[in-house]
Amino acid sequence: MTPPVVSIVAKSGTGKTTLLEKLIAELKKRGYKVGAVKHDAHSFSIDHEGKDSWRLTEAGADTMLITSPEKVAMVKRNPGAEPVLMETIANFCGDLDIVLTEGFKRSSMPKIEVHRRERSEKLLCRGDEYDPTLVAVASDSPLTLDIPIYDINDAGGLCDLIVERFLS
């Protein structure tokens, strides 16, 4: 079973991660099992150089796992091209109620756009192009749109929307 996925999108520097943190905390408070996915276009680093686990990845392991009583961590090389997001979510998030992603603005997933007037007057999804997958906007300033608008700090209101639309 693949859980529903909602993507938090914004122009860079608008505060996607801050809103994501609030939404994750709010959904957890309501008892949901939540996943978070971030895309990195570059060769990101995770783990700490010199640690045993890092050495195993460096040695060439296709998949490196660290298991512990509390959690499991994994670094897995893509066998070929980068898999599509929904395949990755199906593989690793089947046990969750909902997944929030950061970015993936060109995907066809439902989206919430974060907007700050000082960053940009225009929205990503209601600007030069009209993105029909946008379900709500979290903004720091008044807007007139064809979809619901929430205050940028209103994690509770946005969670109500997520629950109603994707978890009921």
Interface residues toward its own copies, by CB under 8 A: 17, 20-22, 24-25, 28, 33-48, 52-53, 55-79, 81-83, 85, 88-89, 92-93, 95-96, 99, 102
Closest CA to 21 of 151, 168, 159, 166: 159
Do the Cβ atoms of 136 and 147 come closer than 8 Å?
Answer: yes
Cβ proximity to its own copies: between 78 and 144 the closer is: 78
Q: Which residues contact 89 (CB under 8 A, 6 or more apart)?
A: 2, 3, 5, 35, 37, 99
Cβ proximity to its own copies: between 64 and 137 the closer is: 64
Structural Rg of the chain based on CA atoms = 18
Cβ proximity to its own copies: between 1 and 128 the closer is: 1
DSSP state of 126: B
What is the rounded CA–CA span in Å between residue 146 and residue 64?
A: 46
DSSP-derived pairing of the beta strands 149-151 and 98-102: unpaired
Q: Whole-number minimum distance, CB 27 to its own copies, in Å?
A: 8
Q: How many Å is the maximal CA-CA distance in the chain?
A: 55
Cβ proximity to its own copies: between 82 and 118 the closer is: 82
Q: Whole-number minimum distance, CB 116 to its own copies, in Å?
A: 17
Q: Whole-number minimum distance, CB 142 to its own copies, in Å?
A: 28
Cβ proximity to its own copies: between 104 and 140 the closer is: 104
Q: Whole-number minimum distance, CB 107 to its own copies, in Å?
A: 12
Q: Whole-number minimum distance, CB 71 to its own copies, in Å?
A: 5
